[in-house]
Amino acid sequence: MNLLFLLLAIILLAGLCYSIYRLFQLRTAANLAFAAGQAAITAFFVYSYEGGIYREPFVVLSSFAIGVSVPLVFIYIDLAVLRKKIRDRFGMSLSRFLYKNDRDEFLKVTEKAKYVDNILRQRADSFPVADIMGEIRVERADTSRNIQKQLEAAAKKYGEDDYAGAYAAYQIIEKVFNRSPSLYFNIGNIDYDRGDFDAAARSYRRGAECAGHKDFEHDDMSEKLGIIYYNLGNAYFLHKKYARAIEAYKIAAETFPENTDALYNMSFCHAMDFEETGDTEKAVEAFKQLVEDMPENLHAWFHYGKCLLKMKHTQQAIECLQKVVGDDIMFYEAWYRLAIAYDEGGMVADAVKAYYTSIQIKPDFIDAYNNLGVLLSTVGRHGEALKVLKSALRIKPGDNELIYNIGITQYESGKYDEALSEFLACERLRPDDGDVLYMISVIYMVAGKPQDSMLYLEKAVQREPSVSARAAKEGVFREYVDHKEYGRLFA
């Protein structure tokens, strides 16, 4: 069989399948003509093989012109329509959630793995082997050589991110020589790097205690103590123990004044403590001072924007958070807070883009999915909202809030049976939630089941008395507000 015939026949058959699929999807006269024409040219070409004329130029050219070019034109049109729909709905490119203008920057930042520290200089580096050997002060040469080999092995494993191996090697030495500040500092750094900040703080504290031992009374330990207390402050900070972090940074600054980072971090801790304890006004002032003193610290700008948002200074918050994402496009939390600020400022399209960007950077960020789903539902984009919320539910199955918001979205889009199913599932997870019981009552009333509706409304009022006033304003209950038996539920 001729190779040209076989190739063209396969293309024509593919075009025929596509024309049938398009006819099934759109069902228009134009698509009927397209499918009929494709079937005719395919049949003509196949029969030309039987008649031995398939090599004639007019057969090949007509088959190519009608059976190949026409499907390609329709494919191009369909792709253009699809692209437009996606841009209109998401404001983004087809290939990424990130909007098109930011795509190149996103890729550049991803390649560089750019991150922003929330405190200056995450931690001081581990002390070298020589420092530990100097503190252990072993007299026997053979013992000293063995210890040095063990320490070098620990340092090598640590450099290879083999934290368990490095930790085991240091522990062998620590059981025999337990008065080395540098040894405990290095052990603390291992815990710090693997995220166990509580254990890191214990090791740093032990190192600081060792520095005060009589063995080192004639040594100048001020710089070493400053470094130890600096890392201790960082460990407390990352463990959100801000008061203890402030104490550690204060000692670090007093012991080793050249460490100016400790003073800045101490100010940052004060601001974070204000934010954590709910004193937002003081937090705003503290973060404002921080960004003036250190304008390149994006986390200070981020928290400043968060606090401004809490105080309803929406435009100022937007400006702060725009600066953060402008300098670090990978800062997904800043995108999330910026989306909230846009939403509060009535900038819905920008809020949607910012939520999608946050999800693109961190695909398991459930809060962003949830807020985005609610926003889309609020503006009437129910189908899109359901897709977003169900995507989140696949990541976090059984999440009560997601199920509730899916139910609300389906109710608002008129899918009462599906909404009821979601709220009943939510009731099993949250049997005492008045809002869930209220929504079940509303749906039963809409579905023409007033007895079931009143049963659930009574449960809702018992759990959440404020539901009464809400129900009184709900149109579906208007016939029952003054009802002899049920009027008490609307008081």
Structural domains of the chain, ranges and CATH numbers in brackets: 3-90 (no CATH), 96-120+261-363 (1.25.40.10), 125-258 (1.25.40.10)
pLDDT at 79: 78
Burial of 338 (0-12, 13-18, 19+ CB in 10 A): buried
Residues 439/455, Cβ–Cβ less than 8 Å = no
**Nearest Cα to Cα of residue 247 among 277, 190, 204, 186:** 204
Q: Give the pair of three-digit tokens for residue 122.
A: 């995450």
| In contact, 393 and 385? CB cutoff 8 Å | no
pLDDT at residue 29 in the model = 77
CA–chain centroid gap for 467, Å, is 34
Q: Provide the CA 92 distance to its chain's centre, in angstroms.
A: 18
Instruction: Report the half-sphere exposure of 370 (CA within 13 A, side-chain side).
Output: 14
Q: How big is the CA angle at 381 (ends 397 and 437), to the nearest 5 degrees? A: 50
d(CA 33, CA 21): 13
Q: Which residues contact 219 (CB under 8 A, 6 or more apart)?
A: none
Give residue 106's pLDDT. Answer: 38
Residue type, 106: F
Residue 372: count of CB within 10 angstroms of its CB: 26
Are 388 and 369 within 8 A, CB to CB? yes
**In this predicted structure, what is the pLDDT of residue 4?**
65
Tokens encoding 124: 């001081």
Angle (CA) 169 175 176, round 5°: 105
Measuring CA to CA, how many Å separate 244 from each of 185, 193, 221, 234? 18, 20, 22, 10
| Ordered per-residue pLDDT tens for the chain, 491 residues | 477 667 777 887 888 888 888 887 777 777 788 788 888 878 877 777 666 676 677 667 777 777 778 888 878 887 777 765 555 444 443 333 433 344 344 334 333 333 334 666 667 788 888 888 888 877 788 888 888 898 999 999 988 889 999 999 898 888 888 889 999 999 999 999 888 999 999 999 999 999 888 878 778 888 899 999 999 999 999 888 999 999 999 999 998 887 778 888 888 888 988 998 889 999 999 999 989 988 888 888 999 999 999 999 999 999 999 999 999 899 999 999 999 999 999 999 999 999 999 999 999 999 999 999 999 999 999 999 999 999 999 999 888 899 999 999 999 999 999 999 999 999 988 888 898 999 999 999 998 999 999 999 999 999 988 888 888 888 888 888 888 788 888 86
Helices 434-446 and 400-412 meet at what angle, rounded to 10?
30
Please state the pTM of the whole predicted model.
Answer: 0.64
- Phi then psi for residue 430, to 5 deg, are -130, 70
Asked whether the beta carbons of 463 and 433 are under 8 A apart, the reply is: yes
Return the pLDDT at 58. Answer: 66
Residue 432: which residues within 8 A CB-CB, separation 6 or more? 463
Both tokens of residue 308? 């401004």
Cα–Cα distance between 162 and 233 in angstroms, integer? 25
